[in-house]
């Protein structure tokens, strides 16, 4: 990607303000690390509830295709 150093610095600053990256200073170096906690919170709050139905449908489809239906007696 072609970005100027200033553009990268601005993007990292925004991610830092959003608490999506953690910063560690080592001397004059500023190291950025991904902060997974807010990402997990977003997943748990918004995305996970939409997955339940799809996962249940896939599980039911798997059971039906493998012949493990409860309809068999």
Residue listed under structure tokens 């493998």: 66
pLDDT at 73: 46
pLDDT at 12: 95
The tokens of 2 are what?
Answer: 């072609």
**Separation CA 39–CA 73 (nearest Å):** 45
Per-domain boundaries in the chain: 1-34, 36-73
Name the CA radius of gyration of the chain, rounded.
22
pTM of the predicted model as reported, rounded to 2 decimal places: 0.57
What number of CA atoms fall less than 13 Å from residue 57's CA on the CB side? 5
Per-residue pLDDT of the chain in tens (73 residues, 90 and over written 9): 789 999 999 999 999 999 999 999 999 999 999 999 998 898 888 888 888 888 888 889 999 999 876 555 4
């Amino acid at each position: 990607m072609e970005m100027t150093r200033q553009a990268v610095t601005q993007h990292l600053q925004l991610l830092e303000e959003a608490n999506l990256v953690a910063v560690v200073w080592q001397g004059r170096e500023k190291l950025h690390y991904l902060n997974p906690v807010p990402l997990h919170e977003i997943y748990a709050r918004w995305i996970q509830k939409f997955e339940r139905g799809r996962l249940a449908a896939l599980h039911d489809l798997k059971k039906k295709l493998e012949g493990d239906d409860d309809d068999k007696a």
